[in-house]
Each structure stands twice: as structure tokens, then as C-alpha cells.
């Protein structure tokens, strides 16, 4: 069923005691498993989103020993339903909030399915050095050993930390803190799922694919294309030919990313038509390319943008 937009963007102040000696953290709740309930404490699939930001905070009273909490209910949906309207609203709200001197940092509660895309989007659109922490859970709030409450406590703690400043958007789950740029969801179900690993696969098998999808995506309105390439962003010969022909005809930006979670797709200045994604995986590359196209960047500027993500870019 469609997202109920009437429920979005209403401010739902969290009613908590204020302590002048504590930092102020604002929580933006968007939905996901962290805000979900099942019908029994053993149910770990098939649950539904339903808890509001006040209930998330009420479940962890210890949070109030760490920070004063203000809360916004931005949406309450499975993260597969997070759309551009929600994202734009979220980033505008957060930028305005972080501009207030009184606010130490912010936390976003989010479903894990598209958490990394939202983290990437926020990383590229939030203009502040204050901590921005995105957090989710793999088990619903009603489950035995629900992971949401501790994850939320840790995220709020991180949002108050001086050493968390200037690190871009951070993904915080299961005792780990990761960067929005490198962290990816590795497991569809297990609580231990977000990693920025250092090693890729030993290898993989892939069928030859034809290039028909390249033209189909352009014909259906794509203004840029990201390839989940093999190895370091390699395309099969058929894909490469189709993509280059489309580039010659249209000039739309083409980004070659890599299927393996780690590693780099090289960014070759001499390569006219294809832009390597550097360390960014396909989903993060998509968000970066989308924002660059929206900002009116030409292909040269897009190439520099991706080049800037290389770890030695400032060296
Ligand atoms: N663990 C989760 O949060 C999964 C959920 N389906 C979501 O992304 O909204």
C-alpha cells in the first residue's frame, strides 16, 4: 500500500525532562525494524512498523542520563519506502537543527534495508561538523534480545561525543561505528550486519550479459548510469560496447562501480566516457551521481567528485 504522506513531517516533540548540564541531541525517526512490533517476543520476521519516536526513547530511559532529547517523527515506514521527498525534508531539518548552537548532534533512526543510501545522501548534503549518527535494528522492538534499545543508546552517546565531530555521517549498529562512505549492509537478517570490510570475495562466476538494459534504462528516463561492474569496475564486452555507444550518442554520465564490497574502481583521467567510482559501491555511487546531476555538474566535475573519494585524495 502507498505511503501515507499525511502522517509525514508532523513535529512530535518528545516529552522528556530537561537537564541543563547535559548536551542536547535531536532524534529523527523514520521507521524500520527499530520501530517495529510483532505479535510475540519470538517473532523476528513479518512484523510491522508502528512505534513513534516517543516510544523509542521511552524504551531506553538511560538515554536521559546522557542527553536531553528532542524528537521529530519524519516518517514511519519500512526503509524501502524512503523516497526523495522524505530525504530532502530530513536533510533540511537536520541542517537547520545543527545550525543551532544549543544542539550537540543528531541521531536518525532508520530501517536497515536502505540505511546506507540515506547515510550517503545525508553525508553529501549535511553541512556541519557536529556528529550525525544513523542507527537501526535487525530485530523488532518486541523481540527477545531486541537490538534497537542498545543501538539507540549507543547512537545518542556517539552524537554527544567531541571525538565524533567532523567525521561525516556515521552508521552505528551492534557496537560498531562506521563511515557512511564505506559501510555496507552485509547480512539481510543478522544483527551483526554493517561492515566496512577490507577483503572482497575470493572470486565469482558471472554470465555474459547483453547491453539491452543500458539502452532500456536511458529510454525509461535515466540521466546517468551506474554499472555494478565486475572486479575493479569491469564491464562485459557487450555492456561496454552498448554503454560507449550510448555515451557517444547522448553524453550522459556513466559510472563504473564494483560488485565486491571493497576495493576501488580506478578513476582514469584519460578515459573519456566512463568514470570509475573509486571506493564507492554501486548504491552509494548512485546517490552521488544523482545529486551531481541535480546540481548541474558536467562530466568533468562528476569525475573530480568521484576522484575526491579516493582515500589519498588529499595526500
Ligand atoms: N532491519 C530493518 O530495518 C529492515 C526493514 N525492512 C527496513 O529496512 O525498514
Query: Is it the case that residue 276 has pLDDT exceeding 70?
Result: yes
pLDDT averaged over the chain? 88
Query: Is it the case that residue 262 has pLDDT exceeding 70?
Result: yes
> Which residues approach ligand 1 with their CB closer than 6 A?
32-33, 78-79, 111-113, 136, 138
What is the C-alpha to C-alpha distance for residues 8 and 206, in angstroms, rounded to an integer?
A: 42
Residue 203, domain member (yes or no):
no
- Indicate if 130 and 230 belong to the same structural domain: no
Q: Domain range for residue 91?
A: 5-195
Residue 83, domain member (yes or no):
yes
Residue 136, domain member (yes or no):
yes
Active site positions, annotated:
33, 112
Task: Read off the pLDDT of residues 44-53 as tens digits, 9 standing for 90 and up.
Answer: 999 999 999 9
Residue 299, domain member (yes or no):
yes
- Indicate if 183 and 218 belong to the same structural domain: no
Tally of domains within the chain = 2
Residue 11, domain member (yes or no):
yes
Task: Read off the pLDDT of residues 200-235 as tens digits, 9 standing for 90 and up.
Answer: 333 333 444 767 889 889 999 999 999 998 888 888
Within the chain, residue ranges assigned H as helices are: 53-58, 84-98, 115-125, 148-159, 212-219, 237-250, 282-294, 299-307
The pLDDT of 246-260, averaged and rounded, is 93
- Indicate if 136 and 245 belong to the same structural domain: no
**Of all protein residues, whose CA lies closest to atom 7 belonging to ligand 1?**
111
- Indicate if 31 and 170 belong to the same structural domain: yes
* 48 C-alpha to ligand 1 centroid (Å): 10
- Indicate if 98 and 183 belong to the same structural domain: yes
- Indicate if 189 and 269 belong to the same structural domain: no
Residue 207, domain member (yes or no):
no
- Indicate if 175 and 246 belong to the same structural domain: no
Share of the chain above pLDDT 70, in %: 90
User: For the chain, where are the E strands, in sequence order?
Assistant: 24-31, 36-37, 48-49, 68-77, 103-109, 132-135, 169-173, 176-179, 184-185, 194-195, 225-229, 254-258, 274-276
CATH number at residue 238: 3.40.50.40
Residue 315, domain member (yes or no):
no
Amino acid at each position: 500500500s502507498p505511503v501515507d504522506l499525511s502522517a509525514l513531517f508532523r513535529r512530535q516533540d518528545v516529552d522528556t525532562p530537561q537537564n541543563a548540564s547535559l548536551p542536547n541531541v535531536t532524534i529523527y525517526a523514520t521507521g524500520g525494524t527499530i520501530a517495529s512490533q510483532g505479535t510475540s517476543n519470538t517473532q523476528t520476521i513479518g512484523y510491522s512498523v508502528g512505534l513513534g519516536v516517543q516510544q523509542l526513547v521511552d524504551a531506553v530511559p538511560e538515554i536521559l542520563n546522557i542527553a536531553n532529547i528532542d524528537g521529530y517523527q519524519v516518517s514511519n515506514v519500512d526503509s524501502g519506502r524512503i523516497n526523495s521527498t522524505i530525504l530532502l525534508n530530513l536533510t533540511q531539518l537536520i541542517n537547520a537543527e545543527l545550525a543551532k548552537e544549543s544542539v550537540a548532534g543528531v541521531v536518525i533512526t532508520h530501517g536497515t534495508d536502505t540505511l546506507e543510501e540515506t547515510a550517503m545522501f545525508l553525508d553529501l548534503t549535511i553541512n556541519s561538523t557536529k556528529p550525525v549518527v544513523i542507527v537501526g535494528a535487525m530485530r523488532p522492538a518486541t523481540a527477545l534480545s531486541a537490538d534497537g534499545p542498545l543501538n539507540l543508546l549507543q547512537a545518542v552517546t556517539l552524537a554527544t561525543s567531541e571525538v565524533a565531530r567532523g567525521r561525516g555521517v556515521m552508521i552505528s549498529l551492534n557496537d560498531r561505528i562506521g563511515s557512511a562512505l564505506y559501510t555496507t549492509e552485509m547480512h539481510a537478517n543478522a544483527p551483526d550486519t554493517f561492515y566496512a570490510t577490507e577483503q572482497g570475495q575470493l572470486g565469482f562466476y558471472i554470465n555474459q550479459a547483453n547491453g539491452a538494459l543500458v539502452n532500456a534504462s536511458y529510454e525509461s528516463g535515466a540521466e546517468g548510469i551506474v554499472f555494478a561492474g565486475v572486479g575493479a569496475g569491469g564491464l562485459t564486452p557487450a555492456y561496454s560496447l552498448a554503454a560507449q555507444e550510448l555515451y557517444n550518442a547522448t553524453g550522459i554520465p556513466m559510472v563504473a562501480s564494483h560488485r565486491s564490497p571493497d576495493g576501488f574502481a580506478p578513476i582514469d583521467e584519460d578515459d573519456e566516457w566512463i568514470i570509475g567510482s573509486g571506493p564507492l559501491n554501486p548504491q552509494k555511487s548512485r546517490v552521488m551521481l544523482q545529486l551531481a546531476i541535480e546540481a548541474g555538474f558536467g562530466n568533468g566535475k562528476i569525475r573530480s567528485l568521484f576522484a575526491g573519494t579516493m582515500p589519498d585524495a588529499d595526500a
